Chain A
Amino acid sequence: MRTLHRFHGGVHPPTNKTQSNGKAIAQVVLPSKLVVPLHQHVGNSAKPSVKVGDHVLKGQIIGAPEGRLSSAVHAPTSGTVAAIDMQVVAHPSGLSDLCITIIPDGKDEWTERKTHDWREMQHAELRHILREAGVVGLGGAVFPSDMKLYSHQHKITTLVLNGAECEPWITCDDRLMRERAADILQGAEIMRGLLYADEVLIGIEDNKPEAIAAMRAAVAAGKHERMEVIAVPTVYPGGGAKQLIRVLTGIEVPHGVRSTDMGVQCFNVGTAYGAWRAVAHGEPLLSRIVTVTGNVGEPQNFEVPFGMPVDELVAQAGLQPGTTGHIMGGPMMGFRLPSAQVGVIKATNCIIAMSDALFPPAPPALPCIRCTRCAEACPADLQPQELYWFSKAKNFGKTQEYHLFDCIECGACSYVCPSHIPLVQYFLFSKSEIHARENEKQAADRARERFEYREYRIEREKQEKAERLAAKERAVKEQTAKQIPPVEAPAQANPENTLQLKIQEAIDHAKEQAAAVKPKNVENLTPEQQAEIAEIEARRERIRELAQSHVEQPKE
């Protein structure tokens, strides 16, 4: 039996999972339109590769990855591209982002799907497939998976598969593990292969016995070796990657250090499933399991195509009257959607319809009484009461001394606070202020450096000029000293001669500089433009020659 480790703190909010975990994953009725944001992952936004009016097939790339850290975006069904424009997206800021709107044609017609045998493939090729398939972390961080699947030979010993699902209300991973365990494990095998990892540890909170049983059965049936399904205690935020790694392996990954440096890499079970479908079935990431719960008639999990408007999704679960808004994610770390019309994205694991009965407004905050329940609940061993004090006083230096940036924003402190202080909000405020100041400081530093360099350059040029002059003068003196018998004072060498030399030197210098100047912006010219330039140059040359002869003629 494996010994499990503990992390400090944690809380036990009511799980509210039974509402939605009893029913099998349902397919949604295709919505009237799909609003697919091009930026659904960490890194660069995908670049649109279709035009308005194009007909697209299911699985066709509509946004190509741009740069190293990026991921592709695909058409979730067949249809017509109706718009490529800025729309409000599922982000707490409520800001707009570039989205591709597709009107489904109802045929759900696939593009060509290529299947692969991953065991026969080069790692680079495999990573390319994952990138082109738009596989990103489905645990919420949406980090492009191909970027996390690099390893030098056996540097990573353990692959952790995260099926903890510690947030209340959410059951999408639970249902996925119950229904599609074999595929998840196949995905884990691909990941293990890419990472050269030795063992695979699958952590699932012990409040999901069916999922644990299903996964264990799949491990046995698939004859997976050195792969273990481990029931971990139910405690929020036990599904945080660092917390789960701690519980399973005993390793504490400090802030700013990658878990891979400690020999562990962690993926959500949904990501493993997505990786398997992409590689073995040629199905890019087009949809995901989303828990729809809260103030709805039939809370359940749906397989939802990306871009499906949230209001159409909750309508299919029977939205009840009295809904005051929608949370995307769980109640501990999720956020209120700026609008119910935004499209579901790769990070959408759960939509909770809010009502005053389910989520009563918090009473007004009282002052902190330093009861330290927050410190007892903090999984990062922080002292939230101190961080709150310093944040409130805008003493940001002190917040950093008290390790503000180790805060994982899990909300456990706010949850337990008897004074109902929105602690996490204070910490977010401090973090953003520190970032803003840091940026300002960097900008000021850069400006100062530029200025100082300019001063230095001017000074240096002056000095160089002076040195050159001095050298020339010395040379002239030596020359005249050689020509004129040493009886005469060398210091009084022909002053006119020196002056002339100086003038000649200045002319030479100017010519040199003129010659050194190269025309700019000529790298990407069309042949026609180059021909045009050549013609102009030739004309100029002729004029110069003419001018020269005119000037020189009278002399002769």
Chain B
Amino acid sequence: MLFAPFISKPDNVSQIMLRVMLALIPGIALYVWYFGPAILISLTLASVTALATEAAMLKLRDRPVAPFVKDNTALLTAWLLALSIPSLAPWWLVVVGTAFAISVSKHLYGGLGNNPFNPAMIGYAVLIISFPVQMTHWLTPHGLGQVELTFLDQLNFIFSGALPPGVTLDAITMATPLDTLKTQLHLDRPMQDIMGMPIYGRLAGQGSEMVAWGFMLGGAYLLATRIISWHIPVFYLGSIFATAGIFHLIDPAHYATPLFHWFSGAAMIGAFFILTDPVTGPTTPRGKMIFAAGAGFLTYIIRVFGGFPDGMAFATLLMNICVPLIDAYTQPKVFGRKEKKA
């Protein structure tokens, strides 16, 4: 080394990303347990696409390929996107979404560190707007469906769209717990009845609530290893809890409990893995609180009053827009310029 400091912490971007991916494993394992191994196929597809796109973009942009591909950031984006979309989605959906996320929302903005929007969430937004039908192929959790596909059948469906003879798509897929709730409320069924449907478990959706626990466990690991700070998860979940709590208190028959919202959809993976993306989030502690609280509020509003099944992705992107402003107005006082204590 030429300049001080001559030493550095044995820590690098690649390792950090790898540990975040490691933290996703409990959630993924529970996903496989409850919904079958199809998710592993989309994870692999997304990973391969992400690495290929990353390498191609770096080549096009005349940047060194090896150090950037090895930084594991593209892989993490791929995993987060694959976990956000239905695992039975056709193969090209995963490929298109991942390629778009890496090429447009990451590299066209300047590559690692320069993208203002979360690439995985951009990928999700593009897919749900462009291919809403394919984005409803959510698998029915284990034990609930009429038919259960084997791994080979799932593989076959993802790549060729062909189902085993006599099996219809409806037999193996279903609306998500959030979507079902919305539809049923529309039909004026009381909350009590809806929650009694077999699709719901103790807190939220059957199976999906367990996956949420898995992500929470991974999040705890990230907090313990100080890869993420507590500000975003606490304020995001707190904001969802508070907003949902207020509505639930006002009209319990129409608005689900705060815990339901915590364990539904992408709230948990969002709180610990998506909103905590350092590149697209604020940098100051106060900024993180504002950012996460805003995202929590928007998630709830979009879920309950909006037109999309889940609000997490759009809430993230909307709050990404505000990051520069939030950062500018939440700068902490520097040493010696703090308010003197009386």
Chain A residues within CB distance 8 Å of chain B: 7-8, 11, 13-14, 168, 242, 246, 252-255, 257, 327, 329, 331-336, 354, 359, 361-364, 366-372, 375, 379-383, 385-386, 402-403, 406, 411, 414-420, 422, 424-425
On chain B, the residues within 8 Å of A168 by CB distance are 7
Q: 5 A-B Cβ contacts within 8 A?
A: A327-B6, A333-B4, A359-B1, A411-B5, A418-B13
Say if the beta carbon of B113 comes within 8 Å of chain A.
yes
On chain B, the residues within 8 Å of A416 by CB distance are 8-9, 11
Say if the beta carbon of B184 comes within 8 Å of chain A.
no
Expressed in whole angstroms, the Cα–Cα distance for A359 and B6 within the complex equals 7
Expressed in whole angstroms, the Cα–Cα distance for A13 and B7 within the complex equals 8
On chain B, the residues within 8 Å of A255 by CB distance are 334-336
Q: A246-B335, A420-B12 are in contact. List 17 more A-B contacts (CB 8 A).
A: A242-B335, A255-B334, A332-B4, A333-B5, A334-B6, A336-B2, A366-B71, A369-B113, A370-B278, A372-B278, A381-B335, A383-B332, A406-B335, A416-B8, A418-B13, A422-B3, A425-B3
Give chain B nearest CB distance to A148 CB in angstroms.
19
B9:A254 contact, CB within 8 angstroms: no
On chain B, the residues within 8 Å of A364 by CB distance are 67
Q: Which residue of A lies closest to B12 (CB)?
A: A418
Expressed in whole angstroms, the Cα–Cα distance for A13 and B11 within the complex equals 12
A372:B4 contact, CB within 8 angstroms: no
Q: Describe B's contact surface by its main secondary structure.
A: loop
Chain B residues within CB distance 8 Å of chain A: 1-9, 11-13, 15-16, 67-68, 71, 73, 111-114, 278-279, 281, 283-284, 327, 331-338
On chain A, the residues within 8 Å of B336 by CB distance are 242, 252-255, 257, 380, 406
Given A368-B113, A372-B283: A381 touches B332 (CB 8 Å cut-off):
yes
On chain A, the residues within 8 Å of B284 by CB distance are 375, 383
Expressed in whole angstroms, the Cα–Cα distance for A364 and B4 within the complex equals 15
On chain A, the residues within 8 Å of B6 by CB distance are 327, 331-332, 334, 354, 359
Expressed in whole angstroms, the Cα–Cα distance for A21 and B49 within the complex equals 55
A370:B67 contact, CB within 8 angstroms: no
The one of A362, A370, A414 in contact with B279, judged by C-beta atoms closer than 8 angstroms, is A370
B7:A385 contact, CB within 8 angstroms: no
On chain A, the residues within 8 Å of B283 by CB distance are 370, 372, 375, 383, 385-386
B278:A371 contact, CB within 8 angstroms: yes
On chain A, the residues within 8 Å of B68 by CB distance are 366
A371:B16 contact, CB within 8 angstroms: yes
On chain A, the residues within 8 Å of B13 by CB distance are 366, 369, 418-419
On chain A, the residues within 8 Å of B12 by CB distance are 363, 366, 418-420
Expressed in whole angstroms, the Cα–Cα distance for A419 and B9 within the complex equals 11
- When A and B form their complex, which 5 residue pairs have the shortest distance between CB atoms, in order from nearest? A254-B336, A367-B113, A411-B5, A331-B6, A380-B335
Q: Describe A's contact surface by its main secondary structure.
A: loop
On chain A, the residues within 8 Å of B71 by CB distance are 366
Expressed in whole angstroms, the Cα–Cα distance for A238 and B111 within the complex equals 37
Given A242-B336, A381-B332: A415 touches B3 (CB 8 Å cut-off):
no
A367:B112 contact, CB within 8 angstroms: yes
A414:B334 contact, CB within 8 angstroms: no
The one of A257, A335, A369, A370 in contact with B4, judged by C-beta atoms closer than 8 angstroms, is A335
The one of A380, A415, A422 in contact with B7, judged by C-beta atoms closer than 8 angstroms, is A415
Which of B8, B67, B73, B111 has the most C-beta atoms of chain A within 10 angstroms of its own C-beta?
B8
Given A367-B112, A386-B283: A415 touches B335 (CB 8 Å cut-off):
no
Given A11-B9, A422-B3: A367 touches B334 (CB 8 Å cut-off):
no
Q: Which residue of A lies closest to B2 (CB)?
A: A336
Give chain A nearest CB distance to B51 CB in angstroms.
17
Give chain B nearest CB distance to A140 CB in angstroms.
12
Give chain A nearest CB distance to B95 CB in angstroms.
26
On chain A, the residues within 8 Å of B1 by CB distance are 359, 361-362
Give chain B nearest CB distance to A241 CB in angstroms.
12
Given A368-B113, A369-B113, A375-B283: A417 touches B334 (CB 8 Å cut-off):
no
Which of A336, A361, A418 has the most C-beta atoms of chain B within 10 angstroms of its own C-beta?
A418
On chain A, the residues within 8 Å of B3 by CB distance are 335, 422, 424-425
On chain A, the residues within 8 Å of B4 by CB distance are 327, 329, 331-335, 411, 424
Give chain A nearest CB distance to B209 CB in angstroms.
31
Give chain A nearest CB distance to B11 CB in angstroms.
5
Q: Which residue of B lies closest to A366 (CB)?
A: B13
Give chain B nearest CB distance to A387 CB in angstroms.
11
Give chain B nearest CB distance to A480 CB in angstroms.
75
Expressed in whole angstroms, the Cα–Cα distance for A369 and B110 within the complex equals 12
Expressed in whole angstroms, the Cα–Cα distance for A370 and B284 within the complex equals 10
A382:B334 contact, CB within 8 angstroms: yes
A369:B279 contact, CB within 8 angstroms: yes
B334:A415 contact, CB within 8 angstroms: no
B7:A379 contact, CB within 8 angstroms: no
Give chain B nearest CB distance to A121 CB in angstroms.
36
B278:A415 contact, CB within 8 angstroms: no
On chain B, the residues within 8 Å of A327 by CB distance are 4, 6
On chain A, the residues within 8 Å of B11 by CB distance are 416, 418
A403:B112 contact, CB within 8 angstroms: no
Give chain B nearest CB distance to A3 CB in angstroms.
13
Give chain A nearest CB distance to B272 CB in angstroms.
15
On chain B, the residues within 8 Å of A425 by CB distance are 3
Expressed in whole angstroms, the Cα–Cα distance for A334 and B12 within the complex equals 23
